[in-house]
Amino acid sequence: MVDPALNLAGGSLILPQPLPLDGGQSLERVEVAYETYGKLNAEKSNAVLICHALTGDHHVASPHPITGKAGWWVRTVGPGKPIDTDRYFVICANVLGSCLGTTGPASPAGDGQPWAMRFPVITIRDMVRTLVALLDSLGIDQLHAVIGGSMGGMQALSFAANWPERTRAVLVIASTARHSAQNIAFHEVGRQAIMADPKWEGGNYYAKGKGPESGLAVARMAAHITYLSEAGLTEKFGRRLQDRTEKTFGFDADFQVESYLRHQGLSFTDRFDANSYLYITRAMDYFDLAEEHGGRLAEAFAGVKARFCLVSFDTDWLYPTAESRVIAHALNAAGAPVSFVELSAPFGHDSFLLDVPAQDRVIAGFLNQ
């Protein structure tokens, strides 16, 4: 099912050292699930780290183990593709706090029971610290590039700011240097939906079957709206009815957009852990790269030698172009080389995952410089 030319490898490893966290605790025996594509060259100079988004995982270009769907960035990663696995050794790991192999709230704590809400609150920097530890284990001192879209872009920024010597290039797509009040607000709705579901049970649902599926589905539905543009939704669904010619004057999913959203919500619960959703959204809300560096974003990039590329999309209202512009200004102030482009694409925030040929050209052009 996976193209052998991808040279897919990976698995999971236990970090040899305890992982210190921004919250003050440290985690023992952190497991990291990851995949690699392509081959590491003799100089170990061709590694590209891809950081995934909120509900993504390390199956960048391999089938998802639960859904069987193609990898989430299969259109971008592969032989001859914008992130060319004939050329680069591509690494992607499931983030700390997630639920597809890397340690998170569903993982066993020291007492053998799931961490659940005993899991410490983590930050984007903690996720990156995990990735750096993975690179250490893989013997990679410096990346050719770190790349990420959305929350992956936050990780790429945090990587560049906190481990500036570890990468030569940074590509940040559809992202932000801090979560806005509106971003936090939407996440808070999702968390409240999960926590309001009686099946959440304070997070201790693992032994009891399915968990807070209804709440998680509502959280996903609300978030999903923010991933799409208003115009994109209109083009895709408008006010078209679902498998009917007349409104039913009832509460069924009369409109296609309702049916679509319900499907998005329900199918998400098959592949994602509700507590992971709480922890990862919290990490995103806590993200404020300037705050970590004395309140001045340019300070975050003071020691940076890497070259940067920032990509935004004109229809992205979750992390709109203005957010990328703030990052570009800070990089300019720090004297870092940066190219910044706003691409036109109709899909809203999700454009970075979709068919945007201009993005392909930007990625390939930047990587292959």
Catalytic residue among 57, 285, 316, 350: 316
Q: Are 32 and 49 in contact (CB under 8 A)?
A: no
Catalytic residue among 107, 150, 229, 276: 150
The dihedral over CA atoms of 196, 228, 356, 301, expressed in degrees to the nearest 10, equals: -60
Cβ neighbours around 356 below 10 Å, total: 21
Whether 136 sits among the annotated catalytic residues: the reply is no
* CA 142 – CA 132 distance, rounded (Å): 10
Whether 175 sits among the annotated catalytic residues: the reply is no
Pairing of strands 307-313, 338-343: parallel
* Contact stretch for a copy of itself (CB under 8 A) within 21-29, 69-77, 97-105, 357-365: 21-29
Q: Are 215 and 200 in contact (CB under 8 A)?
A: yes
Is 144 near a copy of itself (CB under 8 A)?
Answer: no
By CB atoms closer than 10 A (0-12, 13-18, 19+), residue 156 is buried
Cβ neighbours for 70, distance < 8 A, ≥ 6 positions apart:
61, 63, 64
Min dist. Cβ of residue 14 to a copy of itself (A) = 24
Where is 157: in which H helix or E strand? helix 151-162
Is 181 near a copy of itself (CB under 8 A)?
Answer: yes
φ/ψ of residue 175, rounded to 5: -135, -170
Min dist. Cβ of residue 217 to a copy of itself (A) = 7
Min dist. Cβ of residue 2 to a copy of itself (A) = 35
* Contact stretch for a copy of itself (CB under 8 A) within 136-144, 156-164, 229-237, 360-368: 229-237
Residues 196-215 that bind a copy of itself (CB under 8 A): 196-198, 214-215
Whether 349 sits among the annotated catalytic residues: the reply is yes
Is 125 near a copy of itself (CB under 8 A)?
Answer: no
* Bridge partner list, 51: 148
Min dist. Cβ of residue 187 to a copy of itself (A) = 9
Min dist. Cβ of residue 216 to a copy of itself (A) = 10
Active-site annotation, residues: 150, 316, 349
Contact residues for a copy of itself, defined by CB under 8 A? 22-24, 117, 120-121, 178-182, 184-186, 188-189, 191-193, 195-198, 214-215, 217-218, 221-222, 225, 228, 230, 233-234, 236-239, 247, 249-251, 253, 255, 257-258, 261-262, 265, 278, 282, 285-286, 288, 291, 317
